[in-house]
C-alpha cells in the first residue's frame, strides 16, 4: 500500500552555481509538459501551480516539440502578466531545424537560434542559455565568444552547458579566462538513483574549482522511478510517448532496466518509513547532492506536480543513515577517481 502524498512545502532557493542568480531548488522542465502530450490548458494549470508554490525556474529548448514548447510557454507568460523580474527562463540551443546551419554551436546558430527562441517566447531576453550538448564541429573559442556576445547584447544574462563532459567545461572556462570572455555558470546533467557518476564525482570538483553548479533533470529516470510502476509502464511515463520507443527499449525492456525496476520496489519500505512515495524520495535524494542548484521536474498534470513538491518535506528527513541505507540497496555509489 502506497503512502499518501505529502503536502507541498515551501520551495527554497539556491544560487545558480557560484553566480548571484537565485533559483528555486525545484524547477519546471517543459519537455513533456509543453510539448505535444498535454493540452495548452493543462500546461497553463501546471505553470500556475508551480509559480504559486514558489518555483521560479522554467526550462525549455528550441528542439522541444519543434518549437511548440517555447511558443506555449511564451503564450502562458504573456497571459499571466507576471513581473518579468520574478521568474527565470532557461532555453537550450543546438537542434533548431533541418538545414545544416540550423543546428550545432556555430556563432551563426547560437545567435540566430537564440533570436528564434526569443521570438517564440515573446521575450526580450532569456535568463540562461544552454549549449545543448558539445559540438565537435565548432571551435571552443567560437562557442565561448558567441555566448559572450549574446550576453553582451542583452539577449541572455548567463550561459551554461548541457550534457558536456568535465574536460569540455574546463576548456570553455579556460578559454573565457584566457580571452577575458564570460565563462559558463552551470551544467545541465541527467541525475537519478541509477545515473550518478557525473553529478556526484565530476561536477562537485568543478563547482569548487571554477564555480560551475549543476541543474539536473530526469530525477525519476523518465518516469520509471515510481512505486506505481510494479512491472507495468504507467500511461504518464515518457516511454509511452510516440517517437520514444528507444527509451522503452533502454529503460524498460533491457536487463539493466529490469534490475532497476526491482531496486525501485526495494526502496518502498524506506519510503513508507518516511511517510512518502518512492517518487518523492527519489526527488529529495537528488536535491541533497552537493553543487546542485535546481532539480528539473517533468510533469503532465498539476496533481502530479503537487505530489512531487512533497519531496521538499522529505529532504529534511534524509539523514546520513537513511542515505547509507539507500546506497546499500542500490549498490552503485560512484567513487571519485584519484
Sign of CA dihedral 288, 294, 298, 303: positive
* Catalytic annotation present for 64: yes
64, 158, 173, 229: which is the annotated catalytic residue?
Answer: 64
**Which grid cell is 51?**
509559480
**Which grid cell is 16?**
545558480
Residues serving a catalytic function are: 64
Amino acid at each position: 500500500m502506497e503512502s499518501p502524498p505529502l503536502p507541498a512545502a515551501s520551495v527554497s532557493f539556491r544560487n545558480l552555481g557560484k553566480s548571484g542568480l537565485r533559483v528555486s531548488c525545484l524547477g519546471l522542465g517543459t519537455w513533456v509538459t509543453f510539448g505535444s502530450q498535454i493540452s495548452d490548458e493543462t500546461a497553463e494549470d501546471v505553470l500556475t501551480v508551480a509559480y504559486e508554490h514558489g518555483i521560479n525556474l522554467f526550462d525549455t529548448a528550441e528542439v522541444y516539440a519543434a518549437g511548440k514548447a517555447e511558443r506555449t510557454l511564451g503564450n502562458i507568460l504573456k497571459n499571466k502578466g507576471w513581473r518579468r523580474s520574478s521568474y527565470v527562463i532557461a532555453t537550450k540551443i543546438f537542434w533548431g531545424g533541418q538545414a545544416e546551419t540550423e543546428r550545432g554551436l556555430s556563432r551563426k546558430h547560437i545567435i540566430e537560434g537564440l533570436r528564434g527562441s526569443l521570438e517564440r517566447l515573446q521575450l526580450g531576453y532569456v535568463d540562461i542559455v544552454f549549449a545543448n550538448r558539445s559540438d565537435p564541429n565548432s571551435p571552443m573559442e567560437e562557442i565561448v565568444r558567441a555566448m559572450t556576445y549574446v550576453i553582451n547584447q542583452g539577449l541572455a544574462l548567463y550561459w551554461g552547458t548541457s550534457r558536456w563532459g568535465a574536460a569540455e567545461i574546463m576548456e570553455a572556462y579556460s578559454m573565457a579566462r584566457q580571452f577575458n570572455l564570460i565563462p559558463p555558470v552551470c551544467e545541465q546533467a541527467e541525475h537519478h538513483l541509477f545515473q550518478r557518476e557525473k553529478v556526484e564525482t565530476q561536477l562537485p570538483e568543478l563547482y569548487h574549482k571554477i564555480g560551475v553548479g549543476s541543474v539536473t533533470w530526469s530525477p525519476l529516470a523518465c518516469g520509471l522511478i515510481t512505486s506505481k510502476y510494479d512491472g507495468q509502464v504507467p500511461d504518464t511515463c515518457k516511454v509511452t510517448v510516440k517517437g520514444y520507443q528507444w527509451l522503452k527499449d533502454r529503460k524498460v525492456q533491457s536487463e539493466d532496466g529490469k534490475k532497476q525496476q526491482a531496486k525501485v520496489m526495494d526502496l518502498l519500505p524506506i519510503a513508507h518509513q518516511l511517510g512518502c512515495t518512492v517518487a518523492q524520495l527519489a526527488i529529495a535524494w537528488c536535491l541533497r547532492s552537493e553543487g546542485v542548484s535546481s532539480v528539473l521536474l517533468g510533469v503532465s498534470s498539476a496533481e502530479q506536480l503537487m505530489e512531487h513538491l512533497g519531496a521538499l518535506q522529505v529532504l529534511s528527513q534524509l539523514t546520513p543513515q537513511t542515505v547509507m541505507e539507500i546506497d546499500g540497496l542500490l549498490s552503485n555509489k560512484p567513487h571519485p577517481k584519484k
